[in-house]
Amino acid sequence: MKYKGKVLELFVEWKKNIEKSTRRKIKAPRLDNGGEYKSDSFLKVCRDEGIEKHFTIRETPQQNVGAKRMNKTLLEKVRCMLSNAELSKNFWAEPLAYACYLINKLPSSAIGSKSLLKVWSEKAAQNYNSLKVFGCPAYYYVKEDKLDPRAKKGVFVRFKKGVKGNKIWDPKDKKFILSRDVTFDEVSMLKLQYLHR
Q: Which of 130, 149, 169 is the last residue of a domain?
A: 130
Task: Give the pLDDT mean for 15-37.
Answer: 82
What percent of the chain lies above the pLDDT cut of 90? 31
Q: Does residue 18 sit in the same domain as residue 53? A: yes
Q: Are 157 and 133 in contact (CB under 8 A)?
A: no
**Cβ pair 141, 181 in contact under 8 A:** yes
Return the DSSP state at 37.
G
Residues 112 and 70 in one domain: yes
**Residues 84, 91: contact at Cβ < 8 Å?**
no
Is residue 18 domain-shared with residue 73, that is, in the same domain? Answer: no
Residue 194 above 60 pLDDT?
no
Cβ proximity of 21 and 121 under 8 Å: yes
197 and 138 co-located in one domain: yes
82 vs 88: CA distance, rounded Å = 7
Q: How confident is the model at residue 196 (pLDDT cuts 50, 70, 90)?
A: low
Which of 6-20, 102-116, 125-139 is modeled with the greatest confidence?
A: 6-20
- For the chain, the domain total comes to 3
> Residues 40, 81: one domain?
no
Contact indicator for 142, 151 with CB cutoff of 8 Å: yes
Q: What are phi and psi of 57, to 5 degrees?
A: -90, 140
**Spatial distance between the Cα atoms of 102 and 177, rounded to a whole number of angstroms:** 21
Indicate whether 126 and 165 sit together in one domain: no
Enclosing H/E stretch for 167: strand 166-170
Judgement on whether residues 109 and 153 belong to the same structural domain of the protein: no
Compute the half-sphere exposure of residue 39: CA atoms within 13 Å on the CB side of its CA: 13
pLDDT in tens, 93-123: 999 999 998 888 888 887 888 887 777 777 7
Looking at the fold, whether 125 and 137 belong to one and the same domain comes out as no
Tell which of 12, 38, 59 closes a domain.
59
Task: Examine the domain organization and report whether 54 and 75 are in the same domain.
Answer: no
Choosing from 25, 40, 59, the residue where a domain stops is: 59
Higher-scoring residue by pLDDT: 149, 1: 149
CATH of the domain at 155: 2.30.30
Domain that holds residue 197: 132-197
Residues 121 and 166 in one domain: no
